[in-house]
Amino acid sequence: MSSSDRIELSIDPGTWDPMDEDMVSLDPIGFHSEEEPYKDRIDSYQRKTGLTEAVQTGIGQLNGIPVAIGVMDFQFMGCSMGLIVGEKITCSSLLRTLLINFYLLYSALLGVRIQKGSLSLIQMAKISFALYYYQYK
Is a pLDDT exceeding 70 seen at residue 111? no
For range 38-48, the mean pLDDT: 87
pLDDT of 42 reads: 84
Q: What whole-number distance in Å separates Cα of residue 81 and Cα of residue 78? A: 9
> 46-69: per-residue pLDDT in tens?
999 999 888 999 999 999 999 989
pLDDT of 89 reads: 82
Q: What whole-number distance in Å separates Cα of residue 45 and Cα of residue 34? A: 18
pLDDT above 70 coverage of the chain, percent: 77
* Strands of the sheet with 103-106, listed across from one edge: 17-19, 55-62, 65-72, 103-106
Neighbouring-strand partners of residue 60 = 67
Element (H, E) at 42: helix 38-49
- CA angle, 58 then 65 then 94, to 5°: 40
pLDDT of 92 reads: 73
Domains of the chain from N-terminus onward: 3-136 (3.90.226.10)
